[in-house]
Amino acid sequence: MALMSKGDLQYSDYSWTAYGSDNPKVTSEPDSTLFNRKEGYEVLYLINKFAEKHELKQKSSGQKAERMLHDHLPSDVRSQQNVMAWLANNWKQH
């Protein structure tokens, strides 16, 4: 079960583009697909994948990941894989 849902997000400036149920941007494992930090479904997907991988169980952890993505993710970190790695490498600093 996903840690976070749309209602758990702290920021309201996301767009919510409808994705098909098999769209790899929100269904497969994080890969070289470019991540869009302004797209709510992509943000939720990445937060939930990160939480699953690192066995995070608290919504506050998901909200921390959201803050990191929204406020601190460098603009040159673009692929889903690199975003996941950046979150892991910077988790204790934020």
Give, as one character, the DSSP assignment of residue 65. H
66 found inside a domain: yes
On whether residue 16 sits in a domain, the answer given is no
Do the domain assignments include residue 59? yes
Q: Which residue has the higher pLDDT, 1 or 82?
A: 82
Is 61 within the bounds of a domain?
A: yes
Quick check: is 7 in a domain? no
Q: Locate tokens 């079960």: which residue?
A: 1
* 21 in a structural domain: no
Q: Both tokens of residue 11?
A: 């920021």
Number of structural domains (the chain) is: 1
Instruction: Output the pTM of the full model.
Output: 0.90
- Does residue 88 carry a pLDDT above 70? yes
| Residue 39: Cβ within 10 Å count | 17
Q: Is 55 left (phi over 0), alpha (psi -120 to 50) or beta?
A: left
pLDDT per residue as tens digits for the range 15-64 = 998 777 767 667 678 889 899 999 999 999 999 999 999 999 999 999 99
Domain assignment of residue 17, yes or no: no
Within a domain: 29: no
Q: Which domain holds residue 47?
A: 34-94
Does the pLDDT of residue 8 top 90, yes or no? yes
Integer Cα distance of 32 and 35 in angstroms: 9
